[in-house]
C-alpha cells in the first residue's frame, strides 16, 4: 500500500476507531469511558471531513463535522455529569460494580 | 362523488374515535351520543356509496415509487362488506349504550370500536395490497384491545394476547404474499395482481396463494387457527357481535373471494381451501354440541359458518359465499346481541344455570328464536337461502365427500342451535336468577336485526347485480332474486339439506333435552376441550418460545464491555462477508 494522502487519512480513521473499540472493551472506569467515546467520535469527525473531500463536497463534510462536534460536546458533558452523580451515590466509578441488571 | 363518501366512511368513525376519547370518561352521556352519531353517519355514507359502485379507483393518490398509489375502489365486493361493517357497527354501538352503561373507561371502549369500524371499511375498499395489510393490522389491534377490555381479568388479557398472536401469523402471511407479488409485478395494486396473475411464475404464484390462505385462515379463525375465537369471547358482547361474528372474521373470506380469480388455477389451492372449510365447519360444530358457555357456543358456530363460506369459495362459489357472509353477519349479530342482552339481564354466561328464561325475557326469546331458525337453515329465513346456495354450489363443483360432510354439518348445526335455544329459554328454571330489564337501545338494535333476518335474502338480486357488474376478473352471472328462489326451491341439494336438517331437529327432539343437561360423553368433551388436539399444540409453542427466551436472558448482561464485544464481533462478521462477497 502506497502512503498517499488518502491512505494516510484512512489509516488514521481506522486506527482511531480501533483504539476506541479496544478502549471500550477493556475500560471499566466511567470517566475513561467518556474519554474513549471522544476518541471514537474524533474518528467519525475525521471520516466526515475526509468523505467530503473525496466526494468533492468539502463544505457539506465540514458542516456535518462541526455539527457532530457540537452534539458530541453535549454528550461528553452529560456523561461526565452522570459519572459525578454515580460517584456520589454508589461511591465507585466501576461500571460492572454499579450494574443492577442481573442476567 | 364516490371519493367524498369513501373518505366520510373512514373519516367519520376515526374522527369520532378521537372526539369520544377527548371528551373524557367524566361525561359518559355525551360519549354515548357521539359514538352513536358518528357510527350512524358512517353507516349512512356507506349506504349512499351503494349508488356509486364502480370498478375503477375513486381515489388515486400517488405515494412515490416504493408504495405505489393509495387507491380506494368502490366495487361491489368492497361496498357490500363496507355496508355490513358500518351498519352492523352502528347497531352494535347503539346496543352498547345500554350494555356498557355505567362501565368505567368508556373512552377507550368507543375509541377502539370506532377506530375498528373505519379500519374495516378501509380494509375492504383499499385497492393497494400494502394498505390492505395496514388496515388489516389495525383491525387486529382493535380486536386485541377490545377482547382485553376488562384488563383486570386475567382470562380476558390472555384471550386478547392469544388472538393477537394467532392473527399475526395471518398478518405475516398477507405481508409475505404482498411482497412476493410486488417482487413479481412491481406493483402493490390488487387489480394488477388479478389481471396479470398468469405472468407470475408458478412457484411464486403458489407461494402467494398459500400465504393468503394462511392469512385468511388465521383471521377467520379457520382450521388450524380456530382456537383463538372461543377465547375471544371474554370481550364485551357487542364486540363479540361486531368484530368476532359480523365483520373482522369476514376479512379472511373477503381475501379469498377477492383473489379467487388469480389463484383459481394454482394446483391444489382449491382443494386446500375446501379442506380448510370442511374441517373447520365440522370440528367446531362438534365443539358447539358440548359447549356450556352461551357465548362460546355461538363462537363455535361462527367458525363453523365461516367454514361454509371458505368451502363455497373453494368450490368456486364466490357469490354464494358472499351471500352467506351477508346473511350470517345479520343473523349472527342478532344472536350475539340477544345473548348479550340475556347475559346482561341474568349476569351469567353459563347455560347450565339458565333455563326457562323465555317467560321472563319474552322479547329476547322471540328474537333469539328468529336468529336460531336462520342459523339452523329453516326456510324463508336468510340463513336458509344462503346455506342452500352454498350446498348447491358444493354439490356441483366439489368432491362428493366434502359435500357429504357439509351436509352432516348442516344437521349438526340444527341440533346444536336448538340445544342452545332450549337450554337458555325453555325447560324448567334450574336456578333462581335475578332479572334486570332489557333497555330500549338494545331492543331497537335487536328489532332492526331481526327484521333483517327475515328480509335480507330479498336483496340477493341487488347483491348479485353489484357483484356481477363491478368485478371485472370474477365470472359471476347476473341472477335476480326470483330466479334464485326458483333455482334453490327445485334443486335436489336443497331437499337433501332440508332432509338432514329435519333429521337433526328430529334427533334433538328425541334425545336433545337429555343430552343437553347430562354430562357429555367423556371422549367428546376431552376432544372439544383440547380443540381437537390444537390447544396442546398452542401450549407447546408458547412454552417453547418462553423457555427459549428465558435461556437467551444469559446474553443480556447489561455490561458495557460485553456489549461492545458483540458490536465489534458483528462488525467483523459484516466486513468478512463483504470481503468474501468481493464488495471490498
pLDDT tens for each residue of B222-262:
888 888 888 888 888 888 888 888 888 889 999 999 999 88
Confidence bin at A101 (pLDDT 50/70/90): low
Residue B265's pLDDT is 85
- Closest-CA residue of A relative to B559 is A96
Q: What is the mean pLDDT of the segment spanning B439-459?
A: 85
Secondary structure (3-state) at B15: helix
**Smallest Cα distance from A61 to chain B, Å:** 23
Q: Summarize pLDDT for B368-394 with one digit per residue, the tens.
A: 888 888 888 888 888 888 888 888 888
Distance from CA of B552 to the nearest CA of A (A): 9
Is B447:B375 a contact under the CB 8 Å cutoff? no
Cα A62 from chain centre: 18
Distance, in angstroms, between A98 CA and closest chain B CA?
10
Q: Which residue would you say has higher pLDDT here, B527 or B228?
A: B228
pLDDT tens digits, residue range B183-203? 888 888 888 888 888 888 888
Its ipTM equals 0.74
Please give the grid coordinates belonging to residue B127.
385497492
Contact: B560, A33; criterion CB under 8 Å: yes
The secondary structure of B225-276 as a DSSP string is STTHHHHGGGS-HHHHHIIIIISTTHHHHHHHHHHHHHHTTSTTHHHHHHHH
Look up residue A2 and give its DSSP letter: -
Who among B554, B558, B561 is closest to A25 (CB)?
A: B561
**Quick one: how far is CA B332 from the chain centroid?**
11
Q: Tell me what the mean pLDDT of segment B173-182 comes to.
A: 91
CA B479/CA B463 separation, integer angstroms = 10
User: Is it the case that residue B175 has pLDDT exceeding 70?
Assistant: yes
Q: How confident is the model at residue A103 (pLDDT cuts 50, 70, 90)?
A: very low
CA-to-CA distance for B336 and B249, rounded, in angstroms? 14
pLDDT digits (tens, 9 = 90+) for B311-370: 999 888 888 898 899 899 889 888 988 888 888 888 888 887 787 777 788 888 888 888
User: Percent of chain B having pLDDT more than 70?
Assistant: 99
Range of weakest confidence among B38-42, B127-131, B355-359: B355-359
**Does residue B475 come out as left (phi exceeding 0), alpha (psi in the -120 to 50 range) or beta?**
beta
- What share of chain B in percent tops pLDDT 90? 17
Among B26, B531, B17, CA closest to B279: B531
> Which segments of B55-201 does DSSP mark as H helices, in order?
76-99, 106-125, 129-147, 154-185, 190-195
Q: Number of CB pairs < 8 Å for A and B?
A: 33
Question: How is residue B512 annotated by DSSP?
Answer: I
Is the pLDDT at B273 greater than 80? The verdict is yes
Residue of B nearest to A25 (CA): B561
Q: What's the pTM value of the predicted model, to 2 decimals? A: 0.82
Amino acid at each position: 500500500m502506497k502512503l498517499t494522502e488518502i491512505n494516510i487519512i484512512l489509516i488514521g480513521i481506522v486506527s482511531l476507531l480501533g483504539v476506541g473499540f479496544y478502549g471500550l472493551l477493556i475500560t471499566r472506569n466511567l470517566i475513561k469511558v467518556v474519554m474513549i467515546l471522544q476518541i471514537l467520535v474524533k474518528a467519525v469527525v475525521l471520516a466526515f471531513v475526509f468523505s467530503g473531500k473525496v466526494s468533492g463536497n468539502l463544505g457539506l463534510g465540514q458542516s456535518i463535522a462541526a455539527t457532530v462536534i457540537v452534539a458530541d460536546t453535549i454528550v461528553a458533558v452529560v456523561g461526565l455529569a452522570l459519572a459525578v452523580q454515580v460517584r456520589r451515590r454508589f461511591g465507585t466509578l466501576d461500571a460492572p460494580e454499579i450494574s443492577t441488571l442481573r442476567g | 362523488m364516490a371519493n367524498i363518501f369513501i373518505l366520510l366512511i373512514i373519516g367519520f368513525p376515526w374522527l369520532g374515535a378521537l372526539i369520544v376519547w377527548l371528551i373524557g370518561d367524566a361525561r359518559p352521556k355525551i360519549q354515548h351520543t357521539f359514538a352513536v352519531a358518528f357510527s350512524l353517519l358512517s353507516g349512512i355514507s356507506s349506504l349512499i356509496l351503494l349508488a356509486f359502485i364502480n370498478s375503477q379507483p375513486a381515489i388515486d393518490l400517488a405515494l412515490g415509487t416504493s408504495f405505489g398509489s393509495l387507491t380506494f375502489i368502490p366495487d361491489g365486493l368492497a361496498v357490500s362488506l363496507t355496508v355490513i361493517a358500518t351498519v352492523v357497527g352502528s347497531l352494535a354501538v347503539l346496543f352498547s349504550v345500554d350494555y356498557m352503561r355505567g362501565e368505567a373507561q368508556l373512552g377507550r371502549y368507543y375509541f377502539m370500536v370506532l377506530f375498528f369500524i373505519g379500519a374495516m371499511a378501509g380494509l375492504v375498499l383499499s385497492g393497494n395490497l400494502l394498505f390492505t395489510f395496514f388496515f388489516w393490522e389495525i383491525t387486529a389491534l382493535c380486536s386485541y384491545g377490545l377482547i382485553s377490555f376488562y384488563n383486570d381479568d386475567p382470562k380476558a388479557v390472555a384471550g386478547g394476547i392469544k388472538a393477537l398472536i394467532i392473527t399475526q401469523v395471518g398478518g405475516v402471511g398477507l405481508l409475505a404474499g404482498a411482497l412476493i407479488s410486488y417482487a413479481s409485478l412491481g406493483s402493490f395494486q390488487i387489480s394488477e395482481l388479478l389481471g396479470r396473475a398468469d405472468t407470475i411464475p408458478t412457484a411464486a404464484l403458489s407461494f402467494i396463494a398459500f400465504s393468503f390462505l394462511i392469512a385468511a385462515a388465521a383471521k377467520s379463525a379457520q382450521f388450524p387457527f380456530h382456537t383463538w375465537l372461543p377465547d375471544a369471547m371474554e370481550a364485551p358482547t357487542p364486540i363479540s357481535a361486531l368484530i368476532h361474528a359480523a365483520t373482522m372474521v369476514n376479512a379472511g373470506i373477503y381475501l379469498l373471494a377477492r383473489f379467487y380469480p388469480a389463484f383459481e388455477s394454482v394446483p391444489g389451492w382449491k382443494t386446500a381451501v375446501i379442506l380448510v372449510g370442511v374441517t373447520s365447519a365440522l370440528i367446531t360444530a362438534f365443539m358447539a354440541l358440548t359447549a356450556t358457555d352461551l357465548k362460546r357456543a355461538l363462537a363455535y358456530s361462527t367458525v363453523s359458518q365461516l367454514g361454509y363460506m371458505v368451502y363455497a369459495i373453494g368450490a368456486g362459489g364466490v357469490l354464494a359465499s358472499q351471500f352467506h357472509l351477508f346473511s350470517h353477519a345479520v343473523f349472527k349479530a342478532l344472536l350475539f346481541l340477544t345473548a348479550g342482552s340475556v347475559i346482561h339481564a341474568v349476569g351469567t354466561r353459563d347455560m347450565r344455570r339458565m333455563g326457562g328464561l323465555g317467560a321472563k325475557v319474552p322479547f329476547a326469546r322471540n328474537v333469539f328464536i328468529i336468529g336460531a331458525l336462520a342459523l339452523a337453515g329453516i326456510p324463508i329465513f336468510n340463513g336458509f337461502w344462503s346455506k342452500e346456495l352454498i350446498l348447491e354450489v358444493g354439490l356441483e363443483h366439489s368432491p362428493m365427500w366434502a359435500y357429504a360432510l357439509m351436509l352432516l354439518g348442516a344437521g349438526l348445526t340444527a341440533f346444536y342451535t336448538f340445544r342452545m335455544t332450549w337450554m337458555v329459554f325453555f325447560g324448567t328454571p334450574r336456578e333462581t336468577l335475578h332479572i334486570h330489564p332489557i333497555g330500549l337501545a338494545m331492543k331497537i338494535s335487536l328489532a332492526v336485526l331481526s327484521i333483517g333476518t327475515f328480509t335480507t335474502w330479498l336483496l340477493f338480486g341487488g347483491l348479485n347485480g353489484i357483484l356481477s357488474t363491478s368485478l371485472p376478473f370474477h365470472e359471476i352471472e347476473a341472477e335476480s332474486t326470483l330466479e334464485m328462489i326458483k333455482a334453490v326451491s327445485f334443486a335436489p341439494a336443497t331437499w337433501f339439506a332440508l332432509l338432514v336438517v329435519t333429521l337433526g331437529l328430529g334427533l334433538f327432539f328425541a334425545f336433545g333435552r337429555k343430552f343437553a343437561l347430562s354430562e357429555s360423553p367423556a371422549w367428546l368433551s376431552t376432544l372439544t376441550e383440547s380443540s381437537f388436539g390444537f390447544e396442546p399444540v398452542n401450549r407447546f409453542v408458547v412454552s417453547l418460545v418462553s423457555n427459549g427466551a428465558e435461556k437467551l436472558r444469559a446474553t443480556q448482561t447489561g455490561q458495557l464491555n460485553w456489549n461492545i464485544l458483540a458490536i465489534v464481533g458483528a462488525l467483523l462478521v459484516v466486513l468478512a462477508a463483504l470481503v468474501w462477497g468481493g464488495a471490498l
